[in-house]
Amino acid sequence: MDFLTLASNRYSIRGYDPQKPVEKEKLFRILESGRIAPSAANRQPWTIVVVQSKALLQALTTVYPAKWFADAPVVLIVKGRKNEAWKRRSDNYCAIETDLTIVMDHMILAATAEGLGTCWIAAFDEIKLRQILQLTDDEVVFAITPIGYPIGNEVVTRPKIRKTLEEITEWL
């Protein structure tokens, strides 16, 4: 699959088959795609948390209380350490959010290539997530995603509602 087709095939999936687990080999290829992501000054200030245990998946439903989220057999969380991330000297810009976002995007696209569904989630309860994962003050999470096989209407591709290239480009 060429990259444009892959990127076009990625949708936010909000319906998962709770009976269909994610194969270990697929999960490892997805994690490997995250592992090789670029980061500022190659600091790699991240840890990818793979949640598969029933107890923890259950606990995470309080963090993002949607039925479809609870049905996913796996949740991936990218957590990062601010102190390890590169900072720009001129204005102290910290690359942590960018670094963690790239890892997540690599994994989400890799999951698409494996025929799996994902959904970028930022609207989670950050305080509850911090408690469940026992994050230190230095640790941050910007996005989590369920991973699983799409179910029902979710497998039907829908049109991408996007601005046109004309609207979003400036050719100088």
Ligand X SMILES: Cc1cc2nc3c(=O)[nH]c(=O)nc-3n(C[C@H](O)[C@H](O)[C@H](O)COP(=O)(O)O)c2cc1C
Residues that bind ligand X in the complex, under the rule CB under 6 A: 11-12, 14, 119-123, 160
Give buried/exposed letters for 131-148 (b at 16+ CB in 10 A, else e): ebbeeeeebbbbbbbbbb
Q: How far is the CB of 146 from ligand X (least distance, A)?
A: 10
> In terms of CB distance, is 14 or 26 closer to ligand X?
14
Output 8 or 83, the one with its CB closest to ligand X: 8
Pairing of strands 74-81, 46-51: antiparallel
CB of 139 to ligand X, least distance (A): 19
CB of 155 to ligand X, least distance (A): 13
In terms of CB distance, is 23 or 67 closer to ligand X?
Answer: 67
Distance between CA atoms of 44 and 86, rounded to whole angstroms?
9
Which stretches of the chain are assigned E, i.e. beta strand? 46-51, 74-81, 117-118, 139-148
- The residues pairing with 80 across neighbouring beta strands, listed in sequence order, are 46, 140
The distance of closest approach from Cβ of residue 24 to ligand X in the complex, given in angstroms and rounded to an integer, is: 26
What's the start-to-end Cα distance of the chain, in Å?
32
Shortest separation between residue 153's beta carbon and ligand X, angstroms:
13
Q: Which is nearer to ligand X, 91 or 147 (CB)?
A: 147
Distance CA 26, CA 111 (A): 8
- Minimal CB distance to ligand X: which residue? 123
Closest Cα partner for 147 from 94, 93, 78, 100?
A: 78
Residue 18 or 136 having the CB closest to ligand X:
18
